[in-house]
A and B are shown apart, each in its own frame.
Chain A
């Protein structure tokens, strides 16, 4: 079974604060892929990152960084120096090696950044 848990339903921060969005996953597959998507108010899911299960290197892209830890089955997402434009719902998703093509999404975290 594949499952993604995003325990944080809503987070509010003030601009320039750092914020971390948590993601915990469950899978029996030895090969799997993890994703983060952003869903702004317009509704379109925007792909942010994909991570393979055999690559635990952390990744940084501008103000975004991702921490993948297999030992704790977590794939957390940090936004540094948040901006109002970061306000959106963020989804973590899992694709198991045995479930080709099917993404399993968490319930999402609503991030609100106040000016």
Chain B
């Protein structure tokens, strides 16, 4: 069974540019998560989806970050405009439901210059 797929793996952009990350969860997983992982830190939840609905986005900086999960499968996380402090790894995870173990993708390492 395929795991969580993320692309791109690496992205380098200049500040004020937009950037988007894509995630394809494990087949059949209804719950999808986006986490932010700063260097030397544990991941922190940005947003959680139950199917198409964002049920926990309290930690998402909505002035510049947006996310969508059309049709309840793939998801896209966007930053516009990017700032230097956004340099981090963006992890996507999925689970059968919010009560089950979360399985993580390899992440997208973003560098903002």
Q: Which residues of B contact A4 (CB under 8 A)?
A: 42
**Interface size for chain A: under 10, 10 to 19, 20 to 34, or 35 or more residues?**
20 to 34
Known contacts: A43-B89, A44-B104, A45-B91. The answer to whether A101 contacts B56 by CB under 8 A is: yes
B40 contacts A105, C-beta separation under 8 Å: no
B45 part of interface (Cβ distance < 8 Å): yes
For chain A, residues 39 to 98, give those with C-beta under 8 angstroms from any C-beta of chain B.
42-47, 50, 91, 93
- Chain A, residue nearest B97 (CB): A101
Name A's interface SS.
loop
Known contacts: A100-B98, A100-B99. The answer to whether A91 contacts B105 by CB under 8 A is: no
A94 CB to nearest chain B CB (Å): 11
In this complex, how many residues of chain B approach chain A with their Cβ under 8 Å: the count is 26
Q: Which residues of B contact A93 (CB under 8 A)?
A: 42
Measured between alpha carbons, how far is A83 from B95 in the docked complex, in Å?
A: 30
Q: Which of A47, A100, A102, A107 contacts B42 (CB 8 A)?
A: A107
B103 CB to nearest chain A CB (Å): 6
- Chain A, residue nearest B43 (CB): A105
For A42, A102, A103, the residue with the greatest tally of chain B CB atoms inside 10 Å of its CB is: A103
B48 part of interface (Cβ distance < 8 Å): yes
| B binding-site residues for A, Cβ under 8 Å | 3, 31, 33, 40-45, 48, 55-56, 89, 91, 93, 95, 98-99, 101-107, 109
Q: Which 7 A-B pairs have the closest CB atoms?
A: A105-B42, A101-B98, A45-B104, A100-B98, A44-B106, A43-B107, A101-B48
